[in-house]
Amino acid sequence: MVMAEAEARVLEAIDRLEPVYRALLQSLVRTPSPVGDEGAAQAIVAGHMRDIGLDVDFFDINPAALAADERFNPSPRSYAGRPCVVGKRKGRGGGRSLVLNAHIDTVPVDAPQTWTFPPYGGVIDAGRIYGRGAADDKAGIAECLLVAHAIREAGLSLAGDLMVASVVEDESTGNGSLAAVRRGHVGDAVVIVDGTWPERFIVSHMGQVSFQIRLPGTAGHATSAGPNPIAAVGQVASALQDYVARRNAAQTLPWGTNERPHFINLGMVRGGVWPGSVPAECVIEGQCGFPPPETCAGAKQALREVLRDLAQSPEWPLAAPASLSFVGLEMAPQVGDPRNPMVQLLVETVDRRHGAVLQESVIAGHCDLRHYTATTSAACLYGPGGGRNVHGADEYFELAHLPLVAGNLACVALKWCGVVGE
């Protein structure tokens, strides 16, 4: 069979199956899966994999088995009932293998009353599907499954193995993809279907570390106890932002298009049990982002020095210095090859099918790419397509990109893995 005929058949199958996968995406959006509670959504994914004839590996992460790996990030959450799911269509032999990876976990919903549509409603309006995880990254899950289903529906056999991995904890530790890799679910090439519009790809990202700052207080009555640790939050925030400003002012080269790449985000503050009491402590949690050549160790030391200097200043309101710990995400910057074999194949496919130029996007965020670049140089992020407001209110995904991106990925899969009888 010539490749042109194989492509025509699989693209026709994608068009025919698109309503099924629009409904699947809607079902996934309507099934909440914030980090720590992904089990119900993964059960839907695993059931669908079996329905389309994939061999399914459904497994919980074993942190003890990963602890010695330098890429492992300890997590305070239990992994019981939060499986990763990998479906495989075994190739006929003689071809190259391909992994399509996407993550089922989402960030939690903040202030649902500010959403135009319910955050777990999966409402479709004006060609967009709204809901937490719609774009990040349940559309990616749907597209990976659509590719595998369409190849089967088109009656095509691949020479190489095709794997679809639905992982947990991309948003926090990255341990889901690490567990899948350590379990042997690796390929000659990997596409992580996350983070880009249809004419973008990613091979590089900044480093990040998550941190926790504990401010000590003395619990007691509001009129007699103290000092109050909440009073120090503003000073800590100002000191951290001053540090970021200094680092960005000293940055001689931009990171991609970002001329001020260093950042610190304070994402959570908690303290106290009663309005009329002084809290025993206040806890601040956040993330620090940094470009290469900085390292995780360097970023952590810099944060220690900021808090040390702050505690030594005459304005420090507490009786003891803040304590600093690092829990969760710790990831070095990744600088990939924008001309690696998988990127080149995607560039050719997007140009041939759409007459468009696939361009590199260099991101300040983080992703699971590091786990796969340890096993293959042919790796990148691509898809799931257009959307807005990820991690915020009214997150949405452009539904027109569901068959478009899936079509590109299916054509890539046919060429990379090889079609038996071609």
The pLDDT value given to residue 348: 98
Q: What is the Cα Rg of the chain in Å? A: 23
Residue 360 φ/ψ, nearest 5 degrees: -75, 140
Torsion of CA 214, 217, 221, 223, to 10 degrees: -120
Check whether 357 has a pLDDT greater than 80: yes
Whether the model clears a pTM of 0.85, i.e. scores above it, the answer is yes
What would the mean pLDDT of 176-200 be, rounded to a whole number?
Answer: 97
Bridge partners of 323, per DSSP, are 214
pLDDT (mean) for 12-17: 98
Beta strands in 30-154 (DSSP E): 55-59, 84-89, 98-103, 124-125, 128-130
pLDDT tens string 129-144 = 999 999 999 999 999 9
The 8-class DSSP code of residue 229 comes to G
pLDDT band at 225 (very low <50, low <70, confident <90, very high): confident
Is residue 372 within 8 Å of 190, Cβ to Cβ?
yes
pLDDT of amino acid 253: 86
pLDDT for the residue numbered 327: 86
- Which is it for strands 396-398 and 128-130: parallel, antiparallel or unpaired? antiparallel
Q: Which of 370, 404, 361 is nearest to 385 (CA)?
A: 404
As a whole number, mean pLDDT of residues 153-173 equals 97
Dihedral (CA of 365, 370, 371, 375) sign: positive
Please give the Cα distance from 374 to 367 (Å, whole number): 14
Residue 86: name the closest of 156, 192, 165 by CA: 165
Angle at CA 90, nearest 5°, toward 55 and 6? 120
DSSP per-residue letters across 232-245: GHHHHHHHHHHHHH
